A = this chain, B = another copy of it.
Amino acid sequence: MQHYDVLVVGGVAAGTKAAAKAKRENPGLRVSIITDDRNISYAGCGLPYYIGGIIGEQKELLVKTPDALKSEFDIDVYTRHHATAINPQERTVTVVDLETGREQLFSYEQLVLATGASPVVPPLPGIKLGNIFTVRKVEDAVLIRQTAESRSPQNAVVVGGGFIGLEVAENLKQQGINVTVVEAAPHILPNFDRDVALHLENYLQENEISIHTREKVTAFEGTTAVTHVQTSERRLPADLVILSIGVRPNVALAQTAGIALGPTGAIQVNECQETSVSHIYAVGDCAETRHRVTNEPAWIPMGSTANKTGRTAAINITNASQDSFPGVLGTTVIKLFDFAAGKTGLSEREARQKGYDYETVLVPANDKAHYYPGYRNIITKLIANRTSRKILGVQIFGEGVVDKPIDIFATAISLGATVDDVAKLDLAYAPPFSMAMSSSIVAANVMRNKLDGKLKGISPLALAERLQDPSLVVLDLRTEPEFMIGSLPGAINIPAGELTARSQEIPRNKTVIAVCKVGKRAYLMQPLLRQLGIQDITVLDGGIAGYPLPLV
């Protein structure tokens, strides 16, 4: 029977990190990794880019080989070995060699479960047809790329409009394949708010990726390989299907040891990454964590979190002192063509569901000085607690730099910042990098204006629902040339500069929804409108730039 001081089951990000860090902390320990896979330590997040050929060689995806782990760190790696059961009393794990079928026992002082997550494969008719792929392992990406290159598929259907699905959609489209994304939820990026996701949907459709939301796949058709995808709405030709409807934590092994799962279905752990069973830790995608805003259990599998939880477990295993992992914000970012979208903390929908008394703003801005060539627009949606003024969450999107402000807010939220704190940050300013008042600070100031009662706003989708309401009148304050791109149905266009002269055109005894390009001019015109006798003013948050529905 093999005995190890630290036995790790699973060898992608979290498992490899836990093993390597344990060995660094205490080189005298015997450390081993057991994995079903042929590879260890591969870059799961890079798979879409390998499919698209942006990453040329398969070996670039492999961060460390088993041989390197042995020679550099003296870690024994058992690939193609499947752990079937844990006996926590004996501290043993039953392991089957997938090549030979031979079963053996490994004993451990400390066991680290890094069993990861597996893609959900729905039991739909035709699911076993050829050319239907999930995207989780290096082999998956290799097969998809081979299929794309050798069979010259014309039509690909991506089932699921989350991150992986959209990244693969972009990469297939870049190779000249017609791509259709089918998403059962009301919008793509289901973790984002609809008003944000709709902007991305518009952008992807402009880039000729078809998007069908609120639509379920019901069957796959074909003889040996898939030829069509049947949805609740239509029948789509498809000689390549990417299934990316989500992942589930791999907890079967943990359950053999009686390890408790959390409410999310992933393995429950404390801040030290310890499970409910002594001498057993869980790290990475198979483990539950906490949301740092709600302090509730959360399961948001990410490679970055996997690295951190692996490190925390290793320190706790090997040291008298304890390390703790405080949880996550669900921070994510995606690049699609020249568009990016990121999120950290709660969406508006999540804030509502959790019962927060919150306020939102939608603030277009530039990512660089407006006079510096190459600046691009981004839009920040900020959600703050109305009482504590703490930031609950942020979503940022556009063709400019979004990962920087997302990280500013991720840092701020983690440290309990209010919007007032963010407004006063001393951020790096030079024209090639930022506006003098950076987009994050501008967004925080707009939120302060709202929280302080200086600005009443309405969100784009809330307005869209009320456009038929006879008690409202939409007043578009843009100039005639700006108005040419379209406006909201029924809007009256009076350029801000002509307000005084043309004020009699504004109907009285109605709520005036003031609309401009980004929301600023409408805000600035409030005093003048009041002077002209219009008291009930609401500004369209984010102006026309933030409005994701069709203009007329």
Contacts and interface: CB of A to CB of B under 8 A. Distances in A.
Interface of A: 13, 24-25, 27, 43, 45-46, 49, 54-55, 60-61, 71-73, 163, 292, 302-308, 311, 321, 325-335, 340, 342, 344, 369, 371-373, 401, 403-404, 406-408, 410-412, 414-417, 421-434, 436-438, 441, 445, 452, 454, 496-497, 524, 527-528, 530-531
Contacts of A434: 304, 403
A55 B372 contact: yes
Nearest to A332: B428
Instruction: Kindly name the residue among A334, A372, A452 whose own CB sees the greatest number of chain B CB atoms within 10 A.
Output: A372
Given A27-B527, A304-B426, A401-B404, 9 more contacts: A24-B524, A49-B431, A304-B438, A306-B436, A308-B437, A331-B428, A335-B430, A407-B427, A411-B415
A435 to B, nearest CB: 9
Contacts of A328: 426
Given A371-B43, A412-B411, A421-B415, A426 B292 contact: yes
Contact of A432 (B335, B428, B438): B335
A300 to B, nearest CB: 9
B424 A325 contact: yes
Nearest to A396: B428
A533 to B, nearest CB: 14
Given A60-B371, A437-B307, A531-B27, A429 B45 contact: yes
A329 B60 contact: no
Contacts of A531: 27
B342 A428 contact: yes
Contact of A414 (B43, B425, B454): B425
A423 B311 CA distance: 10
Given A304-B438, A311-B445, A428 B410 contact: yes
Contacts of A333: 428-430, 433
A424 B326 contact: yes
A488 B78 CA distance: 40
A437 B436 CA distance: 29
Nearest to A401: B404
Given A43-B369, A415-B415, A429 B308 contact: no
28 contacts: A13-B436, A24-B527, A25-B454, A27-B527, A27-B531, A43-B431, A55-B372, A72-B496, A302-B426, A303-B429, A304-B427, A304-B434, A304-B437, A307-B436, A325-B424, A327-B426, A328-B426, A331-B428, A333-B430, A334-B430, A340-B433, A344-B426, A403-B433, A407-B407, A408-B411, A411-B415, A411-B417, A415-B416
